[in-house]
Amino acid sequence: MDIRPIIKGVIAKNCNPEGCRESVQSQIHQLQQLPAISTGPKKVLVIGASSGLGLATRISLAFGGRADTIGISYERPPSGEKSGTAGWFNNLAFTEAAEKEGLIAKNFVGDAYSEPMQQQVVDYIRSEFGGSIDCIVYSLAAGVRPRPDGSGFWKSSLKPVGEPFAGNIINIEKDQMQSVSMPPASPEEVQETVKVMGGENWEEWIRCLDSNNLLARGVKTIAFSYIGSDVTYPIYFGGTMGQAKLHLHDTSDRLNKFLSKHQGEAHIGVSTALVSKASVFIPGFSCYMMALSKVLKQKGEHETCVAHMHRMMKDFLFNPEGVKTDENRLIRADDRELNPEVQAEIFRLIDKVTAENFRSDQYADYSGFIEEFMGLSGFTAKDRVFPETIASQEPALK
């Protein structure tokens, strides 16, 4: 089927179902070339399972460690003219492949913040999933969370705190680099971001599973964070998202104590920067990711998302010698990105990238960035077509 991508700014409006399926199959294939996760969990719940880090973790644990998995996601099936979301097709492709391997792969599609969702998952674990789980992966990335009293939504923001921030984004629709400035967040925006992306919902899930006696002895839970470098600090870790992540980190310490009665553990997996639906919005982030990818590819240290999450699971969370963390109890799978040599090279390159030269791949991995972005929706870079008016335009000046 010939489906053309519809892109508005940095948002892909449709997807290619067959491409999504191939992308999941290719991630599974990559995983199968990696060493098995011999001490991995067998009964896993992934909250936020249909794309990005959650999907890559689900693939790692299922195909690397033969785990049965339950995945929760918020996705749309195709209807009428609408193609449905990429995550919908990712779920289908994952399930088909896992079932072929004799693994259970159950999907729940709906709102992970809601109590009815918790209840459905509890009932399923009790009646059909063997009555207990030994790993909970919390990988939700959401823009909004319904207020439990029904009075609308909390909204998350990606803004600096204290001072405004200016940086470039790559407008993928127009193939232009554009400068964007962001005012600092209001105190309410900070609070709401913490409500949506902090640890509250993670903790609710763990407490709900515990009170229903569904947690196995030695259960582990992990949620993902990003800390980043000086380049990304003002807009990320020093901004609204950083406040949410600090709340998530505090939650992991609280949950770690709470789980000790099951000899369980709660951890934060600090991941490297990856192209995602959300990260392309963040001023300065696309150029940073392009420079990072250029440097890591040159060093032979570049990882795909699935290879990255496989390493996080195998070498860190399920390391046979015990969970590997830093002095702050954080899993640092971002070690390659934060290597001072890599950061120095990123600084040097980023300075040279301009609105005129950014497509050249000379200083930053633009091709890789576009391929990754298009791949999120089951497309390739070649599927991108520009109307003549855009192709012939002079690139926008900064």
Q: Which residues bind ligand NAI (CB under 6 A)?
A: 48-54, 72-75, 87, 111-113, 139-142, 224-226, 271, 273-274, 276-279
Choose the binding region for Na ion from 47-55, 78-86, 143-151, 337-345 (rule: CB under 5 A): 47-55
Tell me whether residue 109 or residue 349 sits nearer to ligand NAI (CB atom): 109
Structure tokens at 229: 């470098």
Chain residue whose CB lies nearest ligand NAI: 52
Distance of CA 59 to the CA centre of its chain: 14
Task: Please give the residues from 101 up to 140 whose contact with Na ion meets the rule CB under 5 A.
Answer: 139
Minimum CB distance to ligand NAI, residue 305 (Å): 8
Q: Rounded CA gap, 266 and 221, in Å?
A: 5
Q: Rounded CA gap, 241 and 161, in Å?
A: 10
Q: Rounded CA gap, 60 and 8, in Å?
A: 32
Binding mask 138-177 for Na ion (x = CB under 5 A): -x--------------------------------------
Q: For residue 352, what are the contacts with CB-CB under 8 A and spacing of at least 6? A: 362, 363
Structure tokens at 162: 């204290």
Minimum CB distance to Na ion, residue 52 (Å): 4
Q: How many residues bind Na ion (CB under 5 A)?
A: 5
Minimum CB distance to ligand NAI, residue 228 (Å): 9
C-alpha separations of 168 from 10, 101, 143, 319 in Å? 12, 45, 22, 39
Chain residue whose CB lies nearest Na ion: 54
Choose the binding region for Na ion from 5-13, 45-53, 305-313, 389-397 (rule: CB under 5 A): 45-53
Tell me whether residue 202 or residue 358 sits nearer to Na ion (CB atom): 202
Per annotation, catalytic residue among 236, 288, 363, 366:
236
Quick one: which of 53, 86, 227, 349 contacts Na ion (CB under 5 A)? 53
Minimum CB distance to ligand NAI, residue 333 (Å): 9
Q: For residue 66, what are the contacts with CB-CB under 8 A and spacing of at least 6? A: 40, 42, 101, 103
Q: Rounded CA gap, 202 and 211, in Å?
A: 14
Tell me whether residue 19 or residue 52 sits nearer to Na ion (CB atom): 52
Q: Rounded CA gap, 13 and 4, in Å?
A: 10
Q: Rounded CA gap, 139 and 202, in Å?
A: 9
Task: Please give the residues from 283 up to 322 whose contact with Na ion meets the rule CB under 5 A.
Answer: none
- Find which of ligand NAI, Na ion, none residue 50 binds, CB within 5 to 8 Å per kind: ligand NAI
Under rule CB under 5 A, residue 54 binds Na ion:
yes
- Find which of Na ion, ligand NAI, none residue 10 binds, CB within 5 to 8 Å per kind: none
Q: Rounded CA gap, 134 and 67, in Å?
A: 10
- Find which of Na ion, ligand NAI, none residue 98 binds, CB within 5 to 8 Å per kind: none
Under rule CB under 5 A, residue 269 binds Na ion:
no
Minimum CB distance to ligand NAI, residue 393 (Å): 30
Tell me whether residue 21 or residue 294 sits nearer to Na ion (CB atom): 21
Tell me whether residue 49 or residue 255 sits nearer to Na ion (CB atom): 49
The β-bridge relationship of strands 43-47 and 68-73 is: parallel
Q: Rounded CA gap, 317 and 311, in Å?
A: 9
Q: How many Cβ atoms are within 10 Å of 224's Cβ, its own excluded? A: 25
Tell me whether residue 53 or residue 350 sits nearer to Na ion (CB atom): 53
Nearest to 348 by CA among 283, 269, 288: 288
Q: How many Cβ atoms are within 10 Å of 263's Cβ, its own excluded? A: 10
Nearest to 163 by CA among 233, 249, 225: 233
Under rule CB under 5 A, residue 239 binds Na ion:
no
Tell me whether residue 182 or residue 216 sits nearer to ligand NAI (CB atom): 182
Task: Verify whether residue 124 is a known catalytic residue.
Answer: no
Structure tokens at 110: 């709906």
Catalytic residues, which ones?
236
